Amino acid sequence: MRLAFSTNAFKKHSLAQAVRLISKAGYGAVEILCDVPHLYAPDYAQPDFDSLSEVLRENKVSVSNLNAFTFFAKGDTYNPSWIDTDPQVRQFRIIHTINSICAASALGVNNISTEPGGLYDKINGNREELIDIFCDNLKKVIPFAEEKKVFILIEPEPELIIENSGQMIEFLKKVSSPFIGVNFDIGHFHCVGEQPLKAMEALYPYVKHVHLEDISNREHRHLIPGEGEIDFEPVLEFLYRNKYGGYVTVELYPYQDDPFGAAVKSINYLRKYEKYFESFRH
């Protein structure tokens, strides 16, 4: 497996600057924010993809994932969502996901990630009905994923409609597509009270990409690895033992005032696990 860093910590920088700084910090791969101000697909034409590919080549980094979870181009972190009460709003999310799939194909990236449905009212919301809406709308996107050979990875998250491994497995059975997988965020499972290793063991057949950040007191605040309470070794050892060939991406979007410093601190801490990685740079 290989180590990457997400550009969503570098929202105060251009995408090209983010790639250069992540490379300078010592990473051999980047996850690209598939939203403003980085790679928002409607703003990109072929020359833009060519230019980005050249920046990636010059800095000797690959792309671990296109992160299409947030939607600040038309809303916020979660909205427009897959489960909005307005079908026209849900259509924005569908189009955003299709555009992100096309962007991944243009860059030769194997996968994109998306939100697990969206926020919902746990007291008054009809969860089963909303899950059906999520499933039905996701199925409208799957043919594009199949055509482009790009995986759509759902990322369970605290307080969203899918937040733990059991809910994720239940949904995967409902969708039943080889092009739907899991973006496994270690910290998220810790936040909802699951042991990350147990969650990984349950979801591993579907895991195509991994997010890593630290957590303190099970509060959903992404921290630099080593500054929280998570023991990463059991999950990394499991991935290594099972010959996971994908990426582990450090995701630290709260550190936008000093993303380079956060990237350097993270990689320095994670060197203690270097034996589990092919190399930090490749």
The amino acid present at 85, given as its one-letter code, is T
Per residue in 60-89, pLDDT tens? 999 999 999 999 999 999 999 999 999 999
Could you list the residue range(s) of the whole structural domain that residue 53 is in?
2-255+265-276
CATH of the domain at 117: 3.20.20.150
Cis upstream peptide for 254 (omega within 30°): no
DSSP SS3 for 88: helix
**Token digits of residue 25:** 């910090």
**Token digits of residue 142:** 């799957």
Reading the chain (282 residues) residue by residue, the pLDDT tens digits are: 999 999 999 999 999 999 999 999 999 999 999 999 999 999 999 999 999 999 999 999 999 999 999 999 999 999 999 999 999 999 999 999 999 999 999 999 999 999 999 998 875 679 999 999 999 999 999 999 999 999 999 999 999 999 999 999 999 999 989 999 999 999 999 999 999 999 999 999 999 999 999 999 999 999 999 999 999 999 999 999 999 999 999 999 999 999 999 999 999 999 999 999 987 665
Residue 121: predicted pLDDT: 82
DSSP one-letter string for 36-57: TTS--GGG--HHHHHHHHHHHH
Structure pTM? 0.97
- If you search the block for the tokens 């924010």, which residue do you land on? 33
For residue 260, tell me if it sits in a domain.
no
Q: What angle do CA 206, 230, 168 make, to 5 degrees?
A: 25
For residue 68, tell me if it sits in a domain.
yes
For residue 281, tell me if it sits in a domain.
no
For residue 200, tell me if it sits in a domain.
yes
Nearest to 247 by CA among 274, 191, 209: 209
For residue 51, tell me if it sits in a domain.
yes
For residue 114, tell me if it sits in a domain.
yes
Q: How many helices (H) and strands (E) does the chain have?
A: 10, 8
For residue 195, tell me if it sits in a domain.
yes
Q: What angle do CA 207, 79, 42 make, to 5 degrees?
A: 80
Q: Give the C-alpha separation, 255 to 275, whole Å.
A: 27
Nearest to 43 by CA among 23, 19, 14: 14
Which DSSP letter does residue 9 get? Answer: G
For residue 282, tell me if it sits in a domain.
no
Report the domain count for the chain: 1
Per residue in 8-54, pLDDT tens? 999 999 999 999 999 999 999 999 999 999 999 999 999 999 999 99
Residue 123: predicted pLDDT: 59
Nearest to 7 by CA among 266, 271, 260, 261: 260
Q: Where are the alpha helices (DSSP H) in the chain?
A: 15-25, 46-58, 87-107, 127-139, 142-148, 165-175, 186-191, 196-203, 233-241, 259-270
